[in-house]
Amino acid sequence: MDLVPHALKLMNTCTSVSSRADIEMILNVGIYILLGSQKKRGKELLHHIESINAKCLAQIQIFKSK
């Protein structure tokens, strides 16, 4: 079963959500959906989502340290 389209829908949902907590939750769901994907497209999207998630977490750490 190809879960990439579902993960892409989640990514599109993130653009209309304003709550950082909701965005993090959506990104985490996308990561869990794509973990273990054997398809190149799935692996690339997983890497992309993980990168976005890491940037969000880094921004939170910077905000908390101020």
What pLDDT does residue 61 have? 60
- What local confidence, expressed as pLDDT, does residue 30 receive? 94
- Tell which residue, 30, 23, 25, has the closest CA to residue 9: 30
pLDDT tens per residue across span 8-64: 998 899 888 888 889 999 999 999 999 989 999 999 999 999 999 998 888 766 555
Contact 30, 49 (CB under 8 A): yes
Q: Which domain holds residue 57?
A: 4-65
pTM above 0.85, yes or no: no
The per-residue b/e assignment along 34-51, b for 16 or more CB within 10 angstroms, e otherwise, is: beebeeeebeebbeebee
Domain count, the chain: 1
* CA separation for the pair 38, 41 (Å, rounded): 9
Residue 59, both tokens:
């921004």
Q: What is the pLDDT of residue 60?
A: 65
